[in-house]
Each structure stands twice: as structure tokens, then as C-alpha cells.
Amino acid sequence: VLEGFHPVKHALRFDADIEMVLTPDAAALEALALELAPDVLDRLRDLLTLVPPASWPRLGAGAVNPVMAVARKPAFDAAGFLAEPAGGPPLVLLEEPTHLGNVGAVIRTAAAAGAAAVLTLRGPDPWHPAALRGSAGLHFALPVARLSALEGSCRPLVAVHPEGEALGVRPLPPNAILTFGSERRGLSPDLLERADRRVAIPMRIGVSSLNLAAAAAIMLYTWRLGPESG
């Protein structure tokens, strides 16, 4: 379920399989699309269903949102993907994230940076509408899936952890799984032990950690701006 203009815009732009787009005010929505995203206007018109304004609040989209949509979650073979040895961009793995806003923010940055995928290990469904709001609908720009276990991967596992070698001393390996821990507990001993490397983002003394989504943004843009991203 996509709530608001920007999530619907990105879903259209990244070819989501959209079943319906709903609005209580087609003229206002068209004006918004013309101003902010004329590239999606034709498809938006084709999919549009008008909802009586009196019924709109009952859909839970919020008074300020002039649009919501329902789209199909793309199929994704996470096991096959993890087993691929192909070189390329890193993928992000979030271990038991708890805050759906953080999950969405990581997906948004990962899409912008050109990451290969965002996977979550246990924790809430990363396709929850709150995560889709946080990503502005950029779930459709790269594979997003939840795993119950990390198995069969032949990619180097990089634990992003406050205690490790400082970021920037060595390039990140190609194809890396950049693994981040949960907001409160951090990475589990199991993943820390399995990691091929532990990388820390330097911080001023006295600061214990960065926000999860901020840490992911720093790691992804270090890769993106470095020579290893090509």
C-alpha cells in the first residue's frame, strides 16, 4: 500500500505492477503531477479511480495525501541472488531492525546510491506501508526482501560495527554484504563472528553510535564516491 504522491510517483517511475491508484480529487492530483513529475502523468491517468471525498478519510491515507495506490510486491529469489558470485555493488543487510522509518530511509539511500538490494534478517516486514512511506516508494527501484536466515551466500560479509577497523583505511570489497545491527542491540555475536571484516565509522569520543539509517548512508556513499564503485 502506497500512501502519498512521492511513493506513488516512484512506484510508477520504477515500473511497479500497480493495481489501482485512488484519489478524492483528480484535478488536484493532476496539477501536482504536472508540477512535480510530468513523466508519470499519463500512466497515473490510466490507473486512476475516483473515491468520493467523504469516503477518503476511511481509507486511512491522511487528510493531506491526495493519492494512494495498491501495487504488487515484485517476486525476488533472495537465495539465488545471494549465491551469485558476480562482482558488483554492495547489498545492505539489516539484522532485526525495529523502526520501519529507518528501514524505509535505508532503502531510499540504497536506491539512490545504486546498491544491489536491501535485505532484512528477521524483524518486521520491510514492505509494511510505514517502510514504503519512509523510502518514498523506492522499494521498487531495487530488490527488497526479508530473510529468516543468512545461508548460501558467497559474498564477503562486512560487519558495520562501532568496534572495528576505521572506514576508509582499505577499500570495501566488491559484492560485499554490508551488515548493520538493530537500533538497540547492534549486531548479534553470530553475525559478528561470521563477518570477514568489521568496519567502524569514526566518531568523536563520548558518542556511542550513529542512527542506523545514517550509518548505512555513510557506508553506501563511501562506496559510491570511492574508486571501487567504478
> What are the backbone angles phi and psi of residue 136, rounded to the nearest 5°?
55, 35
Footprint on residues 175-204 left by ligand SAM (CB under 6 A): 180-181, 183, 186-187, 200-201, 203
- Output the smallest distance, CB 186 to ligand SAM, in A: 2
Which residues pair with residue 178 across a beta bridge? 92, 158
**Cell numbers that stand for 59 in this block:** 481509507
User: Does position 99 bind ligand SAM by CB under 6 A?
Assistant: no
- Which residue's Cβ lies closest to ligand SAM? 186
Nearer to ligand SAM, 65 or 179 (CB): 179
Nearer to ligand SAM, 174 or 209 (CB): 209
- Output the smallest distance, CB 139 to ligand SAM, in A: 21
Nearer to ligand SAM, 45 or 185 (CB): 185
Which residues pair with residue 119 across a beta bridge? 93, 145
Taking the alpha carbons of 37, 91, 149, 209 in that order, is the dihedral positive or negative? negative
**Cell numbers that stand for 226 in this block:** 570511492
User: Does position 215 bind ligand SAM by CB under 6 A?
Assistant: yes
The length of the chain in residues reads 230
Taking the alpha carbons of 69, 72, 77, 78 in that order, is the dihedral positive or negative? positive
- Output the smallest distance, CB 70 to ligand SAM, in A: 32
User: Does position 161 bind ligand SAM by CB under 6 A?
Assistant: yes
Nearer to ligand SAM, 180 or 223 (CB): 180
What is the pattern of x (binds ligand SAM, CB under 6 A) and - over residues 105-144? ----------------------------------------
Nearer to ligand SAM, 157 or 160 (CB): 160
Check residue 186 and report its DSSP letter: B
Taking the alpha carbons of 162, 165, 171, 174 in that order, is the dihedral positive or negative? negative
Nearer to ligand SAM, 15 or 190 (CB): 190
CB burial string 201-223: b at 16+ within 10 A, e below = beeeeeeeeeebbebbbebbebb
- Output the smallest distance, CB 217 to ligand SAM, in A: 11
Residues 122 and 148: beta-carbon distance below 8 Å: yes
Sites of contact with ligand SAM (CB under 6 A) = 160-162, 180-181, 183, 186-187, 200-201, 203, 209-212, 215
